[in-house]
Amino acid sequence: MRESTDKRYYKIREVAELLQLPASTLRFWESQFTILKPKRNDGGTRFYTPSDIETLKMIKYLVKDKGLKIEAAQEAVRRNHSGVSRRSRAIDTLKDVRNQLQGLLDALNKLR
C-alpha cells in the first residue's frame, strides 16, 4: 500500500487504485470532510496532491480500518488531526512490514 507519491497531481482513478477504493467513495468523502479539497480544472476533473492522498489514507484508516461512522471520523479529525495522521501512517508501515515478512516466510517455505 505504500506506493510513492512523487507526482504533483493525481487523477481520481489513480488515487482510487492506489488506495484500493472505488472512486465513488472518494467523491463521497470529499463531500463529507471539509479538509479534503482536491483541485479541479475547468472541466471539473479532480486533481489530488500527495497531501490530499495522505488525508484520504487517514480517512480510510478511521472509516475502514477502525470502523468509525462518518460523523465520528469527522470529529476525530477535528479533535486530533495530527494524532490520527501519525497513527494512520504507523498502521500503514506495520502493514507493509507484515507483508514483507509474509513474503519472506512464503519464500522460506518454498525452499523446504
Give 95's contacts (C-beta < 8 A, 6+ positions apart).
Answer: 1
pTM for this one?
A: 0.69
Distance CA 54, CA 56 (A): 5
Delineate the domains of the chain, giving CATH numbers in brackets. Answer: 10-111 (1.10.1660.10)
Evaluate whether 52 touches 36 at the Cβ level (below 8 Å).
yes
Q: Can you give the pLDDT at residue 91?
A: 76
Q: Can you give the pLDDT at residue 2?
A: 45
Please give the distance of CA 101 from its chain centroid, rounded to a whole number. 22
Binned average pLDDT, 10 residues per bin, the chain of 112 residues: 68 94 95 91 92 91 91 86 70 83 90 84
Q: Can you give the pLDDT at residue 7?
A: 81
Residue with cell 477502525: 66
Distance CA 2, CA 69 (A): 25
The grid coordinates listed for 24 are 465513488
Q: What is the SS3 assignment for 33?
A: coil
